[in-house]
Amino acid sequence: MIPPEDLPGAAILSGIFVGILVVAELWKRLGNPKPEWTRKLVHTGGGIACLFFPFLVKSPWTVLLMALPLTVLFVLGGKLGFLKSLHGIQRKSRGAEYYPLAVFLTFVMTQGRPWLYLPAVLVLAVADAFAALIGSRYGVVRYEVEDEHKSLEGSLVFLVLAFLAIHLPILLMTDLPRPVCVLAALLVAALVTGFEAISLQGADNLFIPIAVVVILAKITGKPLSEVAFQNLSLLAMCLVVGLAVWRMRSFNVGGAITFLLFAYGTWSLGNWYWALPVFAGYAGYLLLRRRFTPPEHLTGVRVRTLTRALLPPFVMLVLANGLRDAQTWFAPYLAALAAVVAISLDEGVFRLERFGTAVRALAALGLGALAWALVVLIPWLVKGEGAFRSLLALLGVTMLISLFNVALELKGEVPVRPREWTAQRFVLTFAAALAVLALQWAGMIQPWDPSWAPRLFG
């Protein structure tokens, strides 16, 4: 039920939304414009109208009751073939369906803080729409993200518009120092440009506004020196990863951006000690791949593969950060990361399917130990006192996970699909983290405390 005080605002905004849809449909049917134009009219016009939510309605239930009918309408329009202004495009996209949900979630997350709500919705409404239009019309430098093609020009337009959409509200609506406003907007714009580049089938409509809210809320609470340091850190990582990808062809463009966002996440949500095993594992993987992988197999890892592989360790990182309990979750994080490297060495470097069963089993154990040395042993040697039993437990878990992966392949439950991360591999990676977590809870091993390392990002 919509609260009585929200009825006038809800009625005004509902009328605007319906009017935008009607205009777009009439334009599509009578004017024969390009499909993207009518879609972006709804995208931009509806987003600008959504900017008034914090000022016209107060209850999130009002926003939800307005968002649900639109979502249902957009879903039915796609399935039944009406709403050609939204669904007339040839590419597969569910962005229109995500849009109302994204606005609702953004509203809930930013109640009482319109300075956070406005940048998130502005980026969604303006930067995303104009980047797509300009990129499709003038884009020359193209890159692939899975089966979709995007352009460097479109991404640069998104970056510039996202910066302005974030910078102006926080400059005008907060008392933050101007340098903080500029650098915070630049950092958030750069990160969400990466999210937009790797999002598939319209998922950016859901993830971008949420990412703007979360990152902007975090970064604006930091002093100027730390905001500047985060910008420099991201720039340095871009240069290092970009150079490695260019020289080694380890990822395609989408995969490189995915890895960069993950690596930066470990650095910002944790500290350099959380990022150390990521870069150590990646460096070891690159060197072994260059030495042992035939040239014809040196193709870049794609977005979906890398996202599925890195999700389990990322979940451990988010839990550690959200629960403020790094000591409990650091060893499971290392276990998941080591499992990813062990399976990747099998699938992407040595390709153990070429060998007999006994050799494959022994080789799998060896790859597990090698992945452990790269991901776990190096951080322990740097500073891991008090974690010796954890060190040994992680060795056993990583070797067993590597062996289980080969056993499933031999049984035919994990088809040999180069450059894909199957559901079984995804489960095995989570199982590595859960095994170490269970050993900790049972008191068989002690948690690995990474808190000694100075926290670069509080």
What was the pLDDT predicted at 171? Answer: 94
At 337 the pLDDT is 96
**CA distances (Å), origin 368, targets 230, 282, 341:** 34, 15, 8
More confident residue, 38 or 211: 211
The residue-averaged pLDDT of 129-143 equals 75
Percent of the chain at pLDDT above 70? 84
Residue 452 within a domain: no
Same domain, yes or no, for 37 and 110? yes
Same domain, 143 and 18: yes
Helix (H) or strand (E) holding 145: strand 142-145
Return the exposure string of 108-128: e unless at least 16 CB atoms fall within 10 Å of the residue's CB, then b: ebbeeeebbbbbbbbbbbbbb
Residues 189 and 46 in one domain: yes
Same domain, 347 and 208: no
Q: How confident is the model at residue 172 (pLDDT cuts 50, 70, 90)?
A: very high
DSSP 83: -
**292 domain residue, yes or no:** yes
Pair (49, 191) in one structural domain: yes
Query: Which of 184-188, 199-203, 235-239, 387-391 tops mean pLDDT?
Result: 184-188
**Residue recorded with tokens 């604006």:** 220
Q: pLDDT for 215-257, tens place per residue?
A: 999 899 899 999 999 999 999 988 988 887 777 666 677 778 8
Task: Indicate the residue among 194, 221, 248 that finishes a domain.
Answer: 221
Pairwise pLDDT comparison (49 vs 129), residue with the higher score: 49
Question: What is the distance between the alpha carbons of residues 354 and 340, in angstroms, rounded to a whole number?
Answer: 21
**Statement to judge: residues 187 and 336 lie in one domain:** no
Query: Which among 122-126, 138-142, 396-400, 415-419 has the top mean pLDDT?
Result: 396-400
Residue 448 maps to a domain: no
Residues 326 and 414 in one domain: yes
Q: Is 67 found in the same domain as 184? A: yes
Q: How confident is the model at residue 457 (pLDDT cuts 50, 70, 90)?
A: very low
Task: Judge whether residue 91 has pLDDT over 80.
Answer: no
pLDDT in tens, 397-437: 999 999 988 887 776 645 444 457 888 889 999 999 999 99
CA distance 84 to 80: 10
Backbone angles phi, psi at 151, to 5 degrees: -125, 150
Question: What does the pLDDT look like over 313-366, one tens digit per residue?
Answer: 999 999 998 888 888 999 999 999 999 999 888 877 776 666 667 778 888 899
Average pLDDT for residues 106-125, to the nearest whole number? 92
Which residues, 6+ apart, have CB-to-CB distance to 293 below 8 Å? 348, 349
Note whether residue 97 is domain-resident: yes
At residue 336, the pLDDT reads: 96
What was the pLDDT predicted at 250?
A: 64
pLDDT value at position 454?
44
Comparing 37 with 12, the larger pLDDT belongs to 12
Mean pLDDT score, 108-115: 91
- pLDDT, residue 79, reads 67
Q: What is the mean pLDDT of the chain?
A: 83
What pLDDT does residue 35 have?
A: 65
| Whether pLDDT at 198 is above 80 | yes
191, part of any domain: yes
Model pLDDT, residue 86:
63
Q: What domain count does the chain have?
A: 2
Q: Which residue has the higher pLDDT, 89 or 283?
A: 283
- The pLDDT-based confidence of 458 (bands split at 50, 70, 90) is very low
**Same domain (yes/no): 190, 276:** no
Cα 126 from Cα 47, distance rounded (Å): 8
CA atoms within 13 A on the CB side of 8: 3
Expressed as residue numbers, the domain containing 214 is 4-221
Tell me what the mean pLDDT of segment 293-299 comes to. Answer: 60
Residue 78 banded pLDDT, cuts 50, 70, 90? low
Kindly state the percentage of the chain with pLDDT values over 90: 34
Q: Considering the domain boundaries, does residue 128 fall inside one?
A: yes
Kindly state whether residue 378 falls inside one of the protein's structural domains: yes
pLDDT of residue 2: 72
Residue 204 and residue 273 in one domain: no
DSSP designation for 387: -
> Distance (Å, rounded) from C-alpha 376 to C-alpha 265?
19
Give residue 22's pLDDT band: very low, low, confident or very high (50, 70, 90): confident
Give the per-residue pLDDT at 1.
62
Q: Mapping DSSP to helix (H, G, I), strand (E, B) and coil, where does residue 270 land?
A: coil
Does 299 have pLDDT greater than 70?
no
Identify whether residues 25 and 90 lie together within a single domain. yes
Residues 208 and 275 in one domain: no
pLDDT of residue 14: 84
Cβ(103)–Cβ(130) under 8 Å? no
Handedness of CA 406, 408, 413, 414 (dihedral sign): negative
Which residues lie below 8 Å from residue 307, measured CB to CB, with a gap of 6+? 198, 258
Kindly state whether residue 230 falls inside one of the protein's structural domains: no
